[in-house]
Structure 1
Amino acid sequence: MRKLSLAVALAALMLGSVVHAKEHDDKKDKPEDKPDAALIQPQSSESEGSVSVEGKRVDYKAVAGTLVLDGNGDKEDEPQVSMFYVAYFKKGADTGTRPITFIYNGGPGSATVWLHMGAFGPKRVVTSDDTHTPAAPYGLVNNDYSLLDASDLVFIDAPGAGFSRLIARDEDKGKRDEQMKERRKAIYSVDGDGHAFGKFIAQFLTKYGRWNSPKYLFGESYGTTRSAVVANILENEESIDLNGVILLSQILSFDNSIDGSQFNPGIDTPYITALPTFAATAFYHRKLPQQPAQLEPFLREVEQFAIGDYAQALMAGAHLDAARKQAVAEKLHQYTGLPVDYLLRADLRVTGGMFEHELQNDGGLTTGRLDSRFSGPSLDPMSKESEYDPQSSSISSAYVAAFNDYVRKQLKFGQNLNYRLFADVDHWDFSHKPPGVQGEALQQSTNVMPDLATAMKTNPDLKVFLNGGYFDLATPYFAADYEMHHLPIPDALQKNISYAWYPSGHMVYAHTESLKMLHDNVARFIGETDNLQRK
């Protein structure tokens, strides 16, 4: 496994699949090895199918293809990136009233196989619930919880991922390499990525005549970061009002990252907001000194302790006296199952990686990060932190194999092309220029809360639906809840935000019962917000 740069390491809390991002080597397949004239022409392949969603048949047309995005300013006529998508259109629907939802994973730089093959596409790959999925052949079944009953769907791969490619056209290799370097710098960044997705959506609306359709964004993990940026770009640069923004496993402010907390001394919020997820995980693995009867009442109790006595103890810093520190450690032991002496030696501050390594270390097991219901043999029982994610190792192969087979055999796209799970984004630029900032982007921990707030204030009808899993140690649900309740918006706009939590992890949909709940909740949200706009 390649070592992560600090920036990527701090960002690794995002997409469920980001852990795998650095477990392969993109550099074996560089686009700049030779100019590819085919990239500058949009490609597409059409097919047809049907899906049964909770007993209701939906016939659809599928289009797998690419759109080519040009640059800005003096490069506005110069192709920059070819972005791959798979769109599903319900047959016979009125495109003027039929909702359309743009869906993407995060990474940053991830393909969207996870949401496509696990959540809302017409076919779903079958994986084990909380254990390692056996090797191929994998099951690909009708997705009873595809979102096609509620909306047309557009799954988008980030630039450089999937079949999406950055474009460099010069015949001279040296100049082409320099072009590619410029492309990466411009696009592999918070703002460059956001503008690329904004351009793609606007171009897609034109190509398929969907300007008057109800429009939704659905992002997972870093995709929620992207959604905040894109929502503001669409609202305030492209004059495209959205009906709704649906967020799954949210992170808007990276200061709230429990993974990056060890690099961020003086910021105690991540420890506070991760505690309920630590407690949920200990509950699941029966590591608590006294096992509660039910999860959710227990979590409400832990949440109150987290924002009360625990927060006060951490804020006291070196002023915290020994007796009070001992009392807090003993309470943390009751809520996490970690030994009191361990908690004291950690100064009451346990990172996600420490917790994942320590919780089941007495049995030689590492606890999952993206879904802490999973466990796997520890690579090094003497390590301070976990060294891999058992959940990622348990299901990734199934998703990759299923999509590579499906896209070529059923969608008829990608023959002789390499489908990249991740783009080569080792040097992603996390600086960001929020709304209202003049001059250069801010060199600080990424925070796109102002972007979502600005989109909501400039479109006060915009509705936001936040979803998260109780067993997600990458983007803890209580951190997402904290962010939403600290958005810089008027109190009156808080009513535009709704919430749903699930007994699952980062990839909520990897748990079948949670997938059904997610589908039903999102379909209801789209139906209610669509109808609201028509009144």
Structure 2
Amino acid sequence: MRRTLTLILFVGFASIFVLGNGSPALAQSKKASEKAETKEGGEKDADESDVSEPSVTHGTVKIDGKDVAYTATAGKMVMKDDGGEEKAHVFYVAYSLDDADASKRPVTYCFNGGPGSSSVWLHLGMLGPRRIKLNDDAKPIRPPHELIANEFSLLDKTDLVFIDPVSTGFSRPAKGQNKNQFHGYDEDLRSIGKFIHDYTTKFGRWASPKFLLGESYGGLRAAGLSGELQNRYHMYLNGIVLVSAVVDFQTLRAAGNNDIAYTLFLPSFSATAWYHDALPEHLQSQTVEKVVEEAEQFAKGPYMQALLAGDSLPDEQRKLVTARMSELTGLSSDYIDRANLRVNMGQFGKELLRSRRRVIGRFDGRYTGIDSDHVGESAEHDPSASAVFGPFTSAMNQYLRDELEVNEDRVYEILTSKVHPWDYSEFANRFVDASATLRKAMTDNPYLRVYAACGYYDLATPSFAMEHTRDHLGLPAELRSNFEMGFYHAGHMMYVHEPSLIKLRKDLIKFYDAALGDE
């Protein structure tokens, strides 16, 4: 699998499978798959019997020292086109505060990424009233999982709606509908935008302040939705939260002559090497923040200049750059020189701790694992993914059926490949990029605020990549403060690290207050 995919990016442990930049070949592959559509693995489409009254349950959770009583609604929204034809049944779980005026209370629409992920990661890791208990020290937990009250939920500040895109979770195309009409950049924005419109209408939330919260590819989706909702439905947002997100694929994919991605990953390499005590003493004795700052200055200065020079780089300058890069990454000068100054994440993850016979996690560089050999160029697995897949899957299945009282026979698709190939044909011959859409949404609606949360040890969507996206949006000076960032001592899912989860909640409360005009 690793050799056949150009890029696999876990998005809150929802993978981004990029098979090309929206190439004509990909579009043709999609058309061919539409003609040969089958129900994979015996999975059936949704039909009328799937849509019943949603399950409504009630609970209480203590947040910030106060008891918060809430109503949980878990069900399927029937999505229809303008002609009334059923297109899909979209599963969601919504939490609303009891005894509150819904028309005035903020509502946040939440989703993970992939493409192909359900919303389980944000739901049971960060935002919902229940969360999985995990270890802060980047060690796997002993099965089975343990669900605990989430005292760091945002439910005291905003109602929450967790959306599972079509083919994920329990969401399925309506009977007779081709699934591929939902599986692409534009198709996804239309279907999720339609769900948000329909939910907002059905539950009387048009007067509510509205937020989007997306993780990883969910960040690209949120940026795209800022335009889809504004242009199609004239629905203006108050805020967007980007958790370990990507908005511009050029910042992540070091393909061809796109050297910018190498520079944007380097500070995360430095942070991860620092965490594993793999840097020289003069750097190891500093804080991770200071190390990252030095790495960023080097990345956007001497390192970028060296990559721009290409084959014309003088030997003496090459030696200086190689030596400094070795200091900042923990890799040997010889390895960096043989890599022609261009080390990708897969190589770094295999090489950094090779002498210790360990590989490091992609989604969280704090995690380490063991491969069958220690001579290859890339790791066989991601130990940070291995540590969370089992707990989140078992917890979600139990929680849905036991506490939310959802009666459903289908498999709850935590993360599925059935959405692929994903159609990026709009971006033929260029990188997938929603930054222009986000910029226009922010300039059309100057009250729209954005918060990007980034983990220092995230080697899937590095923090410097999001900084680059922010600094290249082209916002006028008076709106630049509308885009804020926060940094956390964990990886892609920074909320699995409780100290980071605590900080993230505090930062988001301040962000919501600012977006609502309450501060």
Could you state the TM-score of these two structures normalised by the residue count of structure 1? Answer: 0.89
Residues 122-170 of structure 1 show CA distances to partners (whole Å, capped at 9, x for unaligned) of 011112234442342211111010110110101111110001111233x
Report deviation, 1:42. 5.6
Change in 2 beyond 3 A, CA 1:225/1:48: same
Change in 2 beyond 3 A, CA 1:444/1:168: farther
Matching of residue 285 in structure 1 with residue 276 in structure 2? yes
**1:472 maps to what in 2?**
458
Matching of residue 444 in structure 1 with residue 434 in structure 2? no
**1:427 maps to what in 2?**
421
Task: Check conservation: 2:111, 2:214, Cα contact below 8 A.
Answer: yes
Q: 2: CA distance between counterparts of 1:414 and 1:323? A: 68
**2:32 maps to what in 1?**
none
Report deviation, 1:376. 0.5
**2:386 maps to what in 1?**
393
**1:168 maps to what in 2?**
175
Report deviation, 1:209. 0.7
Say which of 119, 128, 131 aligns to 1:124. 131
Q: 1: CA distance between counterparts of 2:16 and 2:139? A: 15
Residues 442-501 of structure 1 show CA distances to partners (whole Å, capped at 9, x for unaligned) of 442201111111111111111111111000000000000100110033232212111111
Runs of 4 or more consecutive aligned structure 1 residues displaced over 6 Å after TM superposition = none
Q: Which amino acid aligns with 1:287?
A: A
Report deviation, 1:66. 0.8
**1:109 maps to what in 2?**
116
Q: 1: CA distance between counterparts of 2:164 and 2:476? A: 34
**1:306 maps to what in 2?**
299
Report deviation, 1:207. 1.1
Report deviation, 1:4. 7.0
Alignment of structure 1 residues 171-182 onto 2, 5 Å: 179-180=177-178
Report deviation, 1:112. 0.7
Change in 2 beyond 3 A, CA 1:21/1:146: farther
Unaligned 5+ residue runs, structure 1? Answer: 170-178, 433-440
Task: Check conservation: 1:59, 1:91, Cα contact below 8 A.
Answer: yes
Q: 1: CA distance between counterparts of 2:3 and 2:335? A: 27
**2:68 maps to what in 1?**
58
Q: 2: CA distance between counterparts of 1:81 and 1:59? A: 32
**1:31 maps to what in 2?**
44
**2:30 maps to what in 1?**
none
Task: Check conservation: 1:161, 1:422, Cα contact below 8 A.
Answer: yes
Alignment of structure 1 residues 257-336 onto 2, 5 Å: 257=252, 260-261=253-254, 264-290=255-281, 291-336=284-329
Matching of residue 80 in structure 1 with residue 87 in structure 2? yes
Matching of residue 97 in structure 1 with residue 114 in structure 2? no
Unaligned 5+ residue runs, structure 2? Answer: 19-38
Matching of residue 227 in structure 1 with residue 213 in structure 2? no
Change in 2 beyond 3 A, CA 1:266/1:21: closer
Q: 2: CA distance between counterparts of 1:323 and 1:71? A: 64
Q: 1: CA distance between counterparts of 2:175 and 2:412? A: 19
Q: 2: CA distance between counterparts of 1:308 and 1:531? A: 39
Q: 1: CA distance between counterparts of 2:461 and 2:497? A: 17
Say which of 488, 494, 511 aligns to 2:474. 488
Report deviation, 1:394. 0.8
Aligned residues: 496
**1:150 maps to what in 2?**
157
Report deviation, 1:43. 4.3
Change in 2 beyond 3 A, CA 1:235/1:47: same
Q: 2: CA distance between counterparts of 1:226 and 1:43? A: 29
- Identity within the alignment, %: 37
Task: Check conservation: 1:430, 1:445, Cα contact below 8 A.
Answer: no
Q: Which amino acid aligns with 1:524?
A: K
Q: Which amino acid aligns with 1:16?
A: G
Task: Check conservation: 1:80, 1:166, Cα contact below 8 A.
Answer: yes
Report deviation, 1:524. 1.8
Q: 2: CA distance between counterparts of 1:28 and 1:130? A: 38
Alignment of structure 1 residues 457-468 onto 2, 5 Å: 457-468=443-454
Report deviation, 1:187. 1.1
Q: 2: CA distance between counterparts of 1:488 and 1:196? A: 29
Alignment of structure 1 residues 349-364 onto 2, 5 Å: 349-364=342-357
Moved more, 481-490 or 129-138: 129-138
Task: Check conservation: 1:43, 1:67, Cα contact below 8 A.
Answer: no
Q: Which amino acid aligns with 1:426?
A: H
Report SS of the residue matched to 1:82: strand
Q: 2: CA distance between counterparts of 1:271 and 1:316? A: 14
Say which of 208, 214, 223 aligns to 1:213. 208
Q: Which amino acid aligns with 2:268?
A: T
Q: 2: CA distance between counterparts of 1:302 and 1:416? A: 51
Q: 2: CA distance between counterparts of 1:166 and 1:3? A: 29
Could you state the TM-score of these two structures normalised by the residue count of structure 2? Answer: 0.92
Q: 1: CA distance between counterparts of 2:237 and 2:332? A: 49
**1:172 maps to what in 2?**
none
**2:243 maps to what in 1?**
248
Alignment of structure 1 residues 344-383 onto 2, 5 Å: 344-383=337-376
**2:33 maps to what in 1?**
none
